[in-house]
Amino acid sequence: MTGGKGFYIVKEEILPEILKKTVKAKELLKNGAAKTINEATKMVGMSRSAFYKYKDYVFPFYEASMGKIITIALILEHKPGVLSSILDEIAKAHGNILTINQNIPLQGLANVTISFDTSQMTRNVEEVLEIVEKKPGVAKIEVLAQE
């Protein structure tokens, strides 16, 4: 048992609607689209009491991952420049690469693990990972760990 202090990464599509609304209300407040909690909760269609109940317990991935070390696993097509373009994307966001492990390609695919420091990043991790996922030659991407 974790005693209620564990952290989990959960895909958005399985989250209850109230948690999604809480995150959206927090984003509205953060970016200035809503000036008060009352205004933000009305905009997303939730009660203030529900907002207060969940606001300190749910965060977007990028917010929880800033200033951390992230380890991602990728399956890449064995083509020139694929890994380089991924490293370039992380570097453009000011992520600091700590380790790269690449297996020998089998059947045209290679497993790659990259760990990088997010403390100096100028873009959120989620955005960078979405860009990397869409790059030609990336068959799969998965977050393995966050420290």
Instruction: Let me know if domain 65-146 sits in CATH 3.30.70.260.
Output: yes
CA 41/CA 31 separation, integer angstroms = 14
Q: For residue range 11-25, list pLDDT tens digits in order.
A: 788 889 999 999 899
28-53 in b/e burial notation, b at 16+ Cβ within 10 A? bbeeeebeebeebbeebebeeeebee
CA 53/CA 147 separation, integer angstroms = 26
Q: What percent of the chain has pLDDT over 90?
A: 56
Q: Indicate the pLDDT class of residue 45, thresholds 50, 70 and 90.
A: very high
Q: For residue range 77-111, list pLDDT tens digits in order.
A: 999 999 999 999 999 999 999 999 999 999 999 99
Q: Report, as an integer, the average pLDDT of 56-69.
A: 68
Note the pTM of the prediction, 2 decimals.
Answer: 0.60
What pLDDT is attached to residue 114?
95
What pLDDT is attached to residue 56?
80
Q: For residue range 128-140, list pLDDT tens digits in order.
A: 999 999 999 999 9
Q: Max alpha carbon distance in the chain (Å)? A: 56
